[in-house]
Structure 1
Amino acid sequence: MAVFLFCAFTVFGQEKDTKLFLTGYIKNLHEFSFVDRLEQLQWTTFLHNRLNFKYIPSQEFTARLEFRNRMFYGDNIENISGFSDIISQDNGWVGLSWNLLDTNETVLNVAIDRALVNYTKGHWDITLGRQRVNWARNLIWNPNDIFNTYNFLDFDYEERPGSDAVRIQYFLDGFSKIELAAKKGSRGDDDIVAVMYNFNKWSYDIQILTGMYQNDWVIGTGWAGNMKDAGFKGEFSYFVPYKDTDDSQNVLSASFSTDYGFENGLYINGSLLYNSVEDNFSGGVENLKFLNISAKNLMPFEFSSFLQLSKEFSPIFSATTSFIYSPTNHSVILIPSFKYSIATNWELDFTGQSFFEFGRYQSLGNSFFARLRWSF
């Protein structure tokens, strides 16, 4: 079915003055994982096809429908408890994720993560439907991204989650705007309504936000600019409960980051995260990957730090090494990555994720990924 749609709309897209566009990709990802001994090695294969449809009937209106078809087979399906439920999870107001095939060996899922209509005219920009409401400033941890927080370990999901929301932006003079967004969640206590004001001051893009976040009032601020030649970004969000629940408490989530690019192609990015509420957490990298994070709980530790070194050796080959460290049990996550462009629209990359607790002198999990991608 997906192949038929692709062929049909490719032919359609060759017509002059077309108003309908199709882009997407097909990826094949292989995961190899073990805890601390290679004889424990397990494997899982992931086939991922994404189709992005865009319809532009006029200068004012744009409609988008984007969905992904994912097939998993291998050891993770049997060994990770509730794997198929995790894959089919949809936190939107309307459930748009379905497992078409669910066995002990194979899971086939189809999910719609973008379905929206956008209207733009003059100072107004209005979007209705499943969309990404991106209020993030930092590159890895985003306390201001209250509508659709993403897990950085899920590196294969570049588009990141969306929300069933209405988003109204009004652009003022200069670089200022006022934005109102409201999200309807799948549960009664999952609704979010917030307003944000953006402006430019002292050569910094600054934002101030406030609103209702699930069971809390939230107020926050973020900025992005430069200190001399280095980038400097930050986000604060403070949550105050407006109704009593089992975990009602004030929470401060704050992050800072700085990045710098050298003339030789070396890029450095560092970030710090503070969470005033520390969760009790133990488990391997797979557990952290599938952790249901939120703007209030971006990491299960009180303090976390991130360092990334990236080098472009040629226009077709680059390498990146990322480290995440928390003083809690001296937890460390090591994430090396290599990317190679085979040909036009073809890309091959290798990524590793290793989780350690040096306070207990143990390895909690290692995963290595090989991914081939074709974009169209």
Structure 2
Amino acid sequence: MKRLWLTYCFLSLSFMLSAQEKEQQLFLSGYIKNLNEFSFVDQLNQLQWTTLLHNRLNLKYAPTEEIKIRLELRNRMFYGDNLKNILGFSQFIAQDTGMVDLSWNVIDGENVLFNSTIDRALFNYTSGDWDITLGRQRVNWGMNVAWNPNDIFNTYNLLDFDYEERPGSDAIRIQYYLDDFTKIEVAAKKGKSPEDYIVAAMYKFNTWSYDIQFLTGVYQKDCVFGVGWAGNVKDAGFKGEVTYFVPFESYVNAKNVWSASVSVDYGFKKGLYLNASVLYNGTDNDTSNSLGSLVYTNLSAKNLMPFQFSGFLQLAKEFTPLFKGSLSTIYSPTHHSIIALPSMGYSIATNWELDLTGQSFFELEEYKTIGNSFFVRLRWSF
């Protein structure tokens, strides 16, 4: 492990030093964030805290116009109450479901956890109408805002707001453009277990001012079929995704699963933005008791929320070019549960941002609070 860590440090330093010599070919960017979390259930005397120092390095090497090589790393150091109070916290942070394990807990102690993860490591070749990418990458087939049933390769957790880049897959992706608005795409992903693989194709085109896509393939033990669209109804955006999962090993006794989401968004005058979305989850699950731990849950395209029906409503406004705020809520009529997600962001200076975010979980049927978390984040980008 020490050799691995020293190798990583040496490579990072080499990239940063050589970037000064090859400004046209080698690029470095990233950020450093300090995220403080304060959590309690329903009384302030239950208050707990956890601090996360988060560094990201994005390295890109472009020797020619056709070839690009990317290596991107997350370095996270946690200390505080989550390490002691969340069962299996360090194992969850170190989890890597890719074909190659590229996540390491360099320090795993009672009070401090330091994890380093490579979530992008890819080779990209572009020539004419062809675009080919091999390696750890994000294969993003989602079109909706809140929930993406079509995003079968890289499902992300809506509550994990600190991971803007979102997860990647060990995959090969081939895109062929028939014209500026039409393409055929084929992608294949492999994970650790024999059953963890996805092979799918997508056809995307534009008609009647709508972007429309059809996809089909094999998703682990299921045959998968999907459709997505994005367009406008007058001045309002209208998007949707539907994905149908059909087990192919025991089709007679197996249950097929629908996952579907539809959203409408609208930008008002004076900077007010509204987004409303509805999700249908066809899986059999009754996990409302784990609502408060959703942020530490691995979701899938078949199970984007632990409810049959969920609604998402967001109001966002840019008050000034430097100050913005939003209020989002997730409501489930299935279990009468609600999640409130307020946030505010302020640009302190060039490349410096301060964010305040809240996550509160309630069950309305029994009128009880499941948990509250408030986050203060300072970010410097370079």
Q: TM-score if structure 2 supplies the norm length? A: 0.95
The Cα of 1:277 is off from its aligned counterpart by 2.0
Mapped contact 1:32–1:369 kept (Cα < 8 A): yes
- Partners in 1 of 2:264 and 2:288 — Cα distance? 29
Q: Does 1:194 align with 2:200?
A: yes
Q: Deviations over 1:73-116 (max 9, x none)?
A: 00000000000000000010000000011111111000000000
**Could you tell me which residue of structure 1 aligns to residue 3 of structure 2?**
none
**Could you tell me which residue of structure 1 aligns to residue 149 of structure 2?**
143
**Could you tell me which residue of structure 1 aligns to residue 82 of structure 2?**
76
Task: Say which is worse superposed, 279-288 or 182-191, in terms of deviation.
Answer: 279-288
Mapped contact 2:56–2:75 kept (Cα < 8 A): yes
- Partners in 1 of 2:242 and 2:121 — Cα distance? 30
The Cα of 1:5 is off from its aligned counterpart by 6.9
- Partners in 1 of 2:308 and 2:49 — Cα distance? 33
Q: Does 1:296 align with 2:286?
A: no
**Could you tell me which residue of structure 1 aligns to residue 340 of structure 2?**
334
- Partners in 2 of 1:137 and 1:232 — Cα distance? 10
SS of the residue 1:283 aligns to? helix
Amino acid at match of 1:146: I
- Partners in 2 of 1:16 and 1:107 — Cα distance? 35
Q: Does 1:108 align with 2:134?
A: no
Amino acid at match of 1:111: T
Aligned partner (choices 309, 316, 320) of residue 310 of structure 1: 316
**Number of residue pairs matched?**
375
The Cα of 1:329 is off from its aligned counterpart by 2.6
Mapped contact 1:255–1:273 kept (Cα < 8 A): yes
**Could you tell me which residue of structure 2 aligns to residue 212 of structure 1?**
218
**Could you tell me which residue of structure 1 aligns to residue 380 of structure 2?**
374
Amino acid at match of 1:51: L
**Could you tell me which residue of structure 2 aligns to residue 274 of structure 1?**
280
Mapped contact 1:31–1:368 kept (Cα < 8 A): yes
Mapped contact 1:284–1:355 kept (Cα < 8 A): no
**Could you tell me which residue of structure 1 aligns to residue 34 of structure 2?**
28
- Partners in 2 of 1:3 and 1:345 — Cα distance? 24
Q: Deviations over 1:13-60 (max 9, x none)?
A: 344653111000000000000001110000000000000000001111
Aligned partner (choices 161, 164, 185) of residue 155 of structure 1: 161
Aligned partner (choices 332, 344, 351) of residue 345 of structure 1: 351
**Could you tell me which residue of structure 2 aligns to residue 256 of structure 1?**
262
**Could you tell me which residue of structure 2 aligns to residue 127 of structure 1?**
133
- Partners in 1 of 2:290 and 2:328 — Cα distance? 18
Amino acid at match of 1:238: Y
The Cα of 1:291 is off from its aligned counterpart by 1.7
- Partners in 2 of 1:147 and 1:239 — Cα distance? 14
- Structure 1's consecutive aligned runs of 4 or more residues displaced over 2 angstroms after TM superposition are 1-18, 282-286
Q: Deviations over 1:227-249 (max 9, x none)?
A: 1111110000000001249x942
**Could you tell me which residue of structure 1 aligns to residue 182 of structure 2?**
176
Mapped contact 2:211–2:231 kept (Cα < 8 A): yes
The Cα of 1:280 is off from its aligned counterpart by 1.3
**Could you tell me which residue of structure 2 aligns to residue 232 of structure 1?**
238
**Could you tell me which residue of structure 2 aligns to residue 43 of structure 1?**
49
Q: Deviations over 1:150-171 (max 9, x none)?
A: 0010000000000000000000
Q: Provide structure 1 residue ranges, at least 5 long, that are not aligned to the other structure.
A: none
| CA shift in 2, pair 1:206/1:351, >3 Å | same
- Partners in 2 of 1:244 and 1:16 — Cα distance? 56
The Cα of 1:282 is off from its aligned counterpart by 3.2
Amino acid at match of 1:218: V
Amino acid at match of 1:311: K
Identity %: 66
- Partners in 1 of 2:13 and 2:172 — Cα distance? 33
- Partners in 1 of 2:36 and 2:23 — Cα distance? 40
| CA shift in 2, pair 1:78/1:331, >3 Å | same
- Partners in 2 of 1:311 and 1:329 — Cα distance? 30
Q: Provide structure 2 residue ranges, at least 5 long, that are not aligned to the other structure.
A: 1-5
Q: Deviations over 1:194-249 (max 9, x none)?
A: 0000000110000000000000000000001111111110000000001249x942
**Could you tell me which residue of structure 1 aligns to residue 25 of structure 2?**
19
